[in-house]
Amino acid sequence: MPLIARSSYTPPLLLANGHLQTIVPTLMRKVPGVDYTRERIATPDGDFLDLDWLRSGARRLAVLSHGLEGSSTRHYMLGMARAFSRAGWDVVAWNFRGCSGEPNRTVVFYHSGATHDLHTVVEHAAARGDYAEVALIGFSMGGNLTLKYLGEGLFPMDSRIKKAVVFSVPCDLAASARKMASRANSIYMTRFLRMLHAKIRAKMESWPDQLDDAEYHRIKTFEQFDDRYTAPLHGFENAADYYRQASCKQFLGRVTIPSLLVNARNDPFLAASCYPVEAARRSPWLHLEMPQSGGHVGFLDFNSDGLYWSERRALEFVGS
């Protein structure tokens, strides 16, 4: 029954609000000293993925997966990469299709259920070194991908994958889409839709017969975007079918390695069904931690080592 009753996270004074915890790190955090080496790998369908490495010849590897419209250079990715590298791990922070600064080659892009790409990264990266242990770390969408990958059983799992840690995970995509459509989240929704529009416009140059952005301004929610673009491009009937198949919540009972899910109770992006208390109570593997504060991929902290609480917590769980 690995339901963690009390979290160790305490927010800084005056920064306990979920929106502040979400926004302040995005706007203000700087993470110096992360000098990635980029590697481009091919995918089985003729596309590519860009991987950013911190390598020192370690025996342990951390695979980092970012969130929606993120990349390996987001503050939370840089912070986690630096923390694991300092702790003696090799790190690979991978970029979802189209998120590395260059449009991908195929008409499809990334989505919350695309565990085939995570599998491609894990298999390739684990073969690059003499690793005895692999840990999977995911944020938001990347956390959903990680838990779905561990539980769905579609791919042969490398036996060196020993633990996973994920933060701010929309385990129930349909409910989270509805939560994001609320007036309180309009600032985030507007920003995400603007960024996704740029992706669509870039892909239109290569796929004018399959993509257009006519009347895009009428799209106001994730459900409308996913109905029009994500679902048909990736073989789903509609947004509801996409959410149903891609949500990790249904696979949590099948996770068979120690996995820590940290979802702050004041996360403005997450619906109540994204806190899988009963699944954690039933599972010997899924550890659920629900700090009162933390926001969405926030968990900011001020200390001399420059680490956020989420980075210390991840290292603690994997046994650094």
Residues designated as active site: 140, 267, 296
Task: Find tokens 């420059």 and name the residue.
Answer: 306
- Give backbone dihedrals phi and psi of 54, rounded to 5 degrees, phi first: -125, 110
Please give the DSSP secondary-structure letter assigned to residue 52. E
Token reading at 177: 């889409």
Residue with tokens 């920064």: 15
| Tokens 């001020």 -> residue | 302
**Alpha carbon distance 205, 111 (integer Å):** 21
Give me 281's structure tokens.
């109570």
Nearest of 219, 241, 229, 263 to residue 18 by alpha carbon: 263
Q: Which residue from 64, 94, 267 is spatially nearest to 165, judged by alpha carbons?
A: 64
Strand 133-139 vs strand 259-262: parallel, antiparallel, or unpaired?
Answer: unpaired
The secondary element (H helix, E strand) that includes residue 18 is helix 18-28
Beta bridge partners of 138: 65, 166
The set of residues, in sequence order, having a beta carbon less than 8 Å from that of 216 and lying 6+ positions away, is 197, 200
